[in-house]
Chain A
Amino acid sequence: MEFSELIRTGQAQAELLRGPEMPPLRGTLCVTGHHLLLSPGPQATPDLWLLLLRSVDSIEKRVAGDAGTITLRCKDLRVLQLDIEGVEATLDIARSIEALSSLESVITSFPFFYRPKGLRLGEAWHFHPPERYYKRIARETRAWRLSEANEDFSLCPSYPRAVIVPRAVDDDALARSARFRQGGRFPVLSYYHAPRGTVLLRSSQPLTGRQKLRCAEDEELLRAVLAEARPGARGFIVDTRSAQAAKQARMTGGGTEAKAAYPGWKRLHRPLERGRPLQESFVRLMEACGDPEQSMDRWLSRLDGCRWLSHVKEALSTACLAAQGMEWEGACILVHGAEGTDSTLLVTSLAQLILDPLSRTMAGFQELIEREWIQAGHPFQLRCAHSAFSHTRPKHEAPIFLLFLDCVWQLGRQFPLSLEFGEGMLLALFDHSYASPFGTFLCNSEKERCLCEVRTRTHSLWSGLNQPKEQRKLRNPLYVPNPLAIWPSVEPQSLRLWQGLFLRWTHPPEPSEVAWEKVWQIATDQKTEGSQPTDSASEPQP
């Protein structure tokens, strides 16, 4: 397919309005295969304005007289307005943007064409293979092994090639267990909590169905987990659905672990919202955030009504529950919901941030996202196809990853010294997960990524972010390594709306940005000056 077929007009004169804080831009507008360009002419200070078409969430056009207006609502929650000369041009440009922004083919997407200066293809993709994490665990315990049973993605299409499983369980047993779990997602290790020798596992629901089927290998696998942790160890299965929903799932072939079949394991139900209700919550929150004229009462009632902060609270407290079980009770924890690709990952990744100081470093956080979200098979392509402004009926969209980022932001607010990355990192991840020139968040699983050759044909986001020039935006200048678990408060009074994201484009960030700059200045002064006295003392040496 050629992009040129979809581009109906070459260019037009237009004026771009970017919100109250920025001056409008005037110039020549042009649609290309992946971008919308506005060139204000050579004298202008920003000589080119560029928008990735993939990041357009919805488009509205209006014509009046011989001019038209296009309103673009972007996936990063920005709202842009283009005033275009000529009715024909307006309609053509609108149609081109509509067609190009909704292309579904992965291999024609921009990451496959993006070749930035200073980065080499294939860089940083090798940073976070499962082998690397396994090496870390192998230093602590011999109870686990790296299995390549899923080498050809035959056991589970949404798992990576290599997964970490109990040493006592062989690959055949894994295959049987996989057949007993939805989507083949048998229990695998997510995190080894070395200080207490306990583990965090994740899987999908067991396929018990109406007949209450059992699977000896699956039971054996979980028994082996407890046996290898320590004699008499207990386990908790955190089901992210309500008891009612779990029971109902039996009607469609799913279900949950029977008590008698898994001795030593106890089930806890912590219902977390997912899927369409979560997407609707996001949409309603953004509707509320888009109306600056509303009264205080209306705002508070909409904030309450959209329930977003309730979801944040539930996600954080479930993660804390899992972490508490490992750290305080010395128990092993298995987390699953239905498919095990959404709220399951939310809980396991947050629990690691709470417990594991390494995951709170810049490198560790990137590894966490790579391992617990990307390689663990969170279907980014489906979940992030549209953000809050789309008019199309949501199918598979859900802002689970955004909810994760919000929870991390809450952690960062409560422990401002304990995360090596700052709000800028979380914002960047949000933006890139919805539309990105990098390949990291493309596709829904490792299998698809292999088929599309994402690793060899696109650049990794991590290599983009780890360039020195990006670091100041992404890092937390106040970071002090902290080896302890960080237990957040989940009381409603302690949780706040993430204004930096949801109101990023509507409220003037200026004073707080200047203040942040000052914090940087103080913190960097501190670091450079710390070594100064000796420097100047050695200066007059003969």
Chain B
Amino acid sequence: MEHIRTTKVEQVKLLDRFSTSNKSLTGTLYLTATHLLFIDSHQKETWILHHHIALVEKLALTTSGCPLVIQCKNFRTVHFIVPRERDCHDIYNSLLQLSKQAKYEDLYAFSYNPKQNDSERLRGWQLVDLAEEYKRMGVPNSNWQLSDANRDYKICETYPRELYVPRIASKPIIVGSSKFRSKGRFPVLSYYHQNKEAAICRCSQPLSGFSARCLEDEHLLQAISKANPANRYMYVMDTRPRLNAMANRAAGKGYENEDNYSNIRFQFVGIENIHVMRSSLQKLLEVNGTKGLSVSDFYSGLENAGWLRHIKAVMDAAIFLAKAIMVENASVLVHCSDGWDRTSQVCSLGSLLLDPYYRTIRGFMVLIEKDWISFGHKYSERCGHLDGDPKEVSPVFTQFLECVWHLTEQFPQAFEFNEAFLLQIHEHIHSCQFGNFIGNCQKEREELKLKEKTYSLWPFLLDDQEKYVNPLYSSTSQKPAVLEPNTVAFHFKFWRNMYHQFDRTLHPRQSVFNIIMNMNEQNKQLQKDVKDLESQIKQHKNKQTDGVLTKELLNSVRPESPALKTSLCLKEQTLLPVNDALRTIEGSNPADNRYSEYADEFSKAEPAVVSSEYGVARMTC
């Protein structure tokens, strides 16, 4: 706590991000070891986790105080005005220190204590079992086996210990191939399609330079294609743009030469690298953070940022992969440069298109554990958990979530989870509250003893499951189990609920999801009541056939129902997601919206506060 000089500042103003009239809330700002907390005069609390802070800025002093702008990784932007410059300076310095930790051990997860005992914690970590998952896919089998080559992380430090490879690939071949691949990431199984007997494999780029070859690597690829009895040809997808891959050749890396490998079809799919993605998001956030944005500026901003173009590129790549398996029965090997960013995106999204299991709440957790966490997506570097190289930060995983969101929009019934689930996961890749996303690979996580010192996110999400269920989900209506999304440009939309999650004035004022969820819940409750009542009646009928007593029973049943109704109503209220209250707040208020620069013309001071309060009350009940 040596960084905290001031713990409490009063009379701090919180400005509305988009209001042109400098509307503000006044309240008290508290600084704790883990959070920044603002409580306004209505006792509404705004919590900001230190780890979520991406940027703190102290702006030039104004007459009303010293402005402090905080941008968060979950796309919250807050603008405080602290009355005294010294307080502002203290908080600014504290936040600078607290938001960038130097050591893993200082992250929130190592102090977070949800009051669970060790066995509960352990069970939480065992919730997702990847060995089970491979079994579910149908491996090991006659063509694929578990390899112990990397058991001690000797061949590849960034891969997990358990790896599945073609049965005919011997250990020398694996070792040989790994020496020919960037960071030793040789081709291994990511997903096995049981019906088609085709596989999605992943690796990093080959160290081919302009002419180098590696017989073992060629053998391994051949083994993969031989493991597929249906199609001898396999695709090798290089997810990079052709130019980037060619440039890598000069550095002794590069891509597979079709002449050296038998039976491969080589394909570039053109997803840009992490640096392009980082600056694209930066541009996007600059555009949508503009006050008084016009429609035209918004769309030209979207175009210049290129964000949706990148999302489409990732989606197209996943579709290419899914088609290769479904239509041509071909196995596919996916790689980029190091095989932990674009490769993870494409493999996981491709599997999601192919396998309905990954579209369930539990399956989605498994998918993230498998293709992202275990295969060494560098969460800590990409999310900037520690004070490190800002050039390593990139929204690769955010893009994956956005692609999934686009799929949920196109296929409203195909996913068991809803948007809130995706947002919650996004929240926690940055929060460092749970151990899952800390570190950059499994080896590092084991060294940090995360399973002993921290908790897993997944059981907590499962406990809150009803918040994340898609009420329209129907596992039966998925006639074709494979999703074939349409990637015509029209279908890509700006994900407002992600990038403006905390700007409540921009959101729909009534949520369809909530109401359908409530209806569903009530339907279930009513059906249950019907059953209960019917069985009660039956019981009583059996006991006594006397008509008079049946009548009494009816009398005793009737008065119950109003009470039952009220209990339902209470339930309804608790069902509204509590932490989403901001996003789904109902009732609205014209002062929140910029209808006109003429607003000042209406000189009188807000007479209708009462009516808007009434609005909130009426519409949330």
Q: Which residues of chain A have a CB within 8 Å of any CB of chain B?
A: 236, 266, 268, 270, 289, 292, 294-301, 303-304, 307, 309-310, 312-313, 317-318, 320-321, 323-325, 327-331, 413-418, 478, 480, 482-497, 499, 503, 506-508, 511-512, 514-515, 518-519, 522-523, 525-526, 529-530, 532-534, 536-538, 540-542
Residues of B within 8 A of A492 (CB): 293-295, 297-299
In the complex with contacts A328-B590, A328-B602, A537-B537, A489-B296 CB distance below 8 A: no
In the assembly, what is the distance between CA of A301 and CA of B308, in Å?
13
Q: Top 4 nearest A-B pairs by Cβ distance?
A: A304-B299, A492-B298, A299-B489, A515-B412
B526 touches A532 (CB 8 A): yes
Min CB–CB distance B270 → chain A (angstroms):
12
Of all chain B residues, the one with the shortest Cβ separation from A530 is B526
Q: Is the CB of A296 within 8 A of B547?
A: no
Are B506's CB and A493's CB within 8 A? yes
Whole-angstrom CA separation of A328 from B510 in the bound complex: 22
- Enumerate 11 A-B pairs (CB-CB under 8 Å) in ascending A order: A268-B601, A307-B296, A317-B593, A328-B590, A418-B510, A491-B505, A511-B412, A514-B477, A529-B523, A529-B527, A536-B530
The complex places the Cα of A325 from the Cα of B598 at a distance, in Å, of 11
Q: Does B474 contact A (CB under 8 A)?
A: yes
**In the complex, are the beta carbons of B295 and A320 less than 8 A apart?**
no
**Chain A residues within an 8 Å CB radius of B529:** 533
Q: How many A-B residue pairs have CB under 8 A?
A: 230
B300 touches A491 (CB 8 A): no
Q: Does B606 contact A (CB under 8 A)?
A: yes
Q: Is the CB of B590 within 8 A of A542?
A: no
For B302, list chain A residues within 8 Å (CB). Answer: 300
Bound CA span A499–B601, Å: 36
Report the bound CA distance from A536 to B534 in whole Å: 7
Task: Determine the main DSSP class of B at the interface with A.
Answer: helix
Binding site for A on B (CB under 8 A): 18, 288, 293-300, 302-303, 306, 308-309, 312, 410-414, 471-472, 474, 477, 486, 488-494, 496, 499-500, 505-512, 515-516, 519-520, 522-523, 526-527, 529-530, 533-534, 537, 541, 547, 550-551, 554, 557-558, 561, 587-590, 592-596, 598-599, 601-602, 604, 606-608, 611, 614-615, 618-619
Cβ contact within 8 Å between B526 and A542:
no
Name A's interface SS.
helix
Bound CA span A164–B18, Å: 40
Q: Report how far A122 CA is from B44 CA in the complex, Å.
A: 58
Beyond A313-B295, A478-B512, whether A489 also contacts B413 by CB under 8 A is: no
A417 touching B515 in the complex, CB below 8 Å, given contacts A297-B306, A321-B595, A492-B295 = yes
A537 to B519, Cβ gap below 8 A? Answer: no
CB-CB < 8 A to B596: which residues of A? Answer: 268, 270, 317-318, 320-321
| Residues on B with beta carbons closer than 8 Å to the beta carbon of A317 | 593-596
Which partner residue on chain B sits nearest A483 by CB separation?
B618
**B593 and A490 form a contact (CB under 8 A):** yes
* Complex contacts, A236 vs chain B, CB 8 Å: 601
Cβ of A515 and Cβ of B472 under 8 Å apart?
Answer: yes
Which B-chain residue is minimally distant from A270 (CB atoms)? B596
**Do B496 and A514 have beta carbons less than 8 Å apart?**
no
Most buried by B among A270, A413, A490, A495: A490
C-alpha gap A266/B602 in the complex (Å): 10
CA distance A270 to B533 in the complex (A): 62
Would you call B520 and A522 a contact (CB within 8 A)? yes
B492 partner residues in chain A, CB cutoff 8 A: 296
- Which residues of A lie under 8 Å from residue B533 when comparing CB positions? 533, 536-537
Assembled-state Cα–Cα distance A191/B583 (Å)? 33
Please indicate the chain B residues that have their CB under 8 angstroms from the CB of A519 in the complex. 472, 512, 516
Chain B residues with Cβ below 8 Å from A414 are 508-510
Query: Complex formed: what's the CA distance from A537 to B527 in Å?
Result: 13
Given contacts A493-B496, A542-B547, contact A526 B519 (CB under 8 A): yes
Beta-carbon contact of B474 and A518 below 8 Å: yes
Q: Is the CB of A541 within 8 A of B554?
A: yes
Once the chains are docked, how many angstroms separate the CA of A478 from the CA of B523?
14
Q: Which residues of B contact A540 (CB under 8 A)?
A: 537, 541, 550
What chain A residues lie within 8 Å of B519 (beta carbons)? Answer: 522-523, 525-526
Question: Quick check: B590 and A297 within 8 Å, CB to CB?
Answer: no
Q: How far is the CA of A415 from the CA of B510 in the complex (A)?
A: 5
Distance A218 CA – B471 CA, assembled complex (angstroms): 58
Complex formed: what's the CA distance from A542 to B552 in Å?
12
Contact A324 B595 (CB under 8 A): yes
User: Would B619 and A482 count as touching, CB distance under 8 A?
Assistant: yes
The distance in angstroms between the C-alpha atoms of A241 and B135, with both chains bound, is: 69
Given the complex of chains A and B, what is the CA–CA distance between A489 and B288 in angstroms?
Answer: 15
Q: How far is the CB of B607 from chain A (nearest CB, A)?
A: 6
Q: How far is the CA of A490 from the CA of B293 in the complex (A)?
A: 10
Partner of A507, one of B486, B530, B604, B618: B486
A299 touches B526 (CB 8 A): no
CB-nearest residue of chain B to A331: B602
Bound-state Cα–Cα, A270 to B615, Å? 28
In contact, B510 and A538 (Cβ under 8 angstroms) = no
User: Chain B contacts of A318 at CB under 8 A?
Assistant: 595-596
Instruction: Give CA–CA (A200, B544) in the complex, Å.
Output: 69
- Closest residue on chain A to residue B548 by CB atoms: A542
Closest CB-CB distance, A410 to chain B, in whole Å? 10
Q: Which residues of A contact B611 (CB under 8 A)?
A: 327, 484-485
Select which of B299, B488, B508, B614 is within 8 A of A300 by beta carbon: B299
A318 to B508, CA, bound (A): 19
Least CB separation from A523: chain B residue: B519
B477 & A296 in contact (Cβ 8 Å cutoff): no
Q: How far is the CB of A324 from chain B (nearest CB, A)?
A: 5
Taking the closest CB of chain A, its distance from the CB of B405, in whole angstroms, is: 15
**B595–A503 touching, CB < 8 Å:** no
Tell me which residues across on chain A come within 8 A of B598, comparing CB atoms.
268, 270, 321
Residue of A nearest to B508 (CB): A414
Contact residues in A for B486 (Cβ distance below 8 Å): 507-508
Contact between chains at A489 and B530 (CB < 8 Å): no
B306 smallest CB distance to A (angstroms): 7
Contact A494 B595 (CB under 8 A): no
Known: A482-B619, A507-B488, A534-B561. A416 touches B508 (CB 8 A): yes
Task: Contact check, A297 vs B303: say whether CB atoms are below 8 A apart.
Answer: yes
- Which one of B413, B508, B604 contacts A511 once the chains associate, using CB atoms below 8 Å? B413
Q: Please give, as numbers and ranges, the residues of chain A lying within 8 Å of B588 by CB-CB distance.
A: 486-489
Which residues of the partner chain A approach B558 to less than 8 Å between Cβ atoms?
A: 534, 537
Contacts of A537 in B (CB 8 A): 533, 537, 554, 557-558
Given the contacts A324-B590, A523-B519, A301 and B303 also touching, CB distance less than 8 Å: yes
Residue ID in chain A nearest B411 by CB atoms:
A511
Q: Which residue of A has the minimal Cβ distance to B519?
A: A526
B589/A487 in contact, CB under 8 A: yes
Shortest B177–chain A CB gap in Å is 37
Residues of A within 8 A of B471 (CB): 522
Contacts of B510 in A (CB 8 A): 414-418
Q: Which of A270, A327, A492, A519 has the most CB of B within 10 A?
A: A492
Neighbouring B residues of A506 by C-beta, 8 Å:
490
**If A487-B590, A542-B550 touch, does A493 touch B298 (CB 8 Å cutoff)?**
yes
A374 to B615, CA, bound (A): 33
CA–CA, A523 and B302, complex, Å: 37
Interface centre among A297, A483, A493, A514 (most CB of B within 10 A): A493
- How near does chain A come to B23, taking the closest CB pair, in angstroms? 14
Closest to B292 in A: A491
Q: Please state if B554 and A320 are interface contacts (CB–CB under 8 Å).
A: no
Residue numbers in A under 8 Å from B505 (CB-CB): 489, 491
Query: Which residues of A sit under 8 angstroms from B294, Cβ to Cβ?
Result: 310, 313, 492
Say whether B561 contacts A533, CB under 8 Å: yes
Which of A309, A328, A483, A541 is packed against the most chain B CB atoms within 10 Å?
A328
Q: For the complex formed, measure the closest distance between the CB of A308 and the CB atoms of chain B, giving whole angstroms.
A: 9
B416 to chain A, nearest CB (A): 14
State whether A499 and B490 are in contact (beta carbons under 8 Å apart), knowing that A490-B595, A492-B299 are contacts in the complex: yes
CB contacts (< 8 Å) of B509 on chain A: these are 414-415, 486-487
Pick the contact of A526: B472, B500, B523, B602 (CB < 8 A).
Answer: B523
- Does the CB pair A491–B554 fall under 8 Å? no
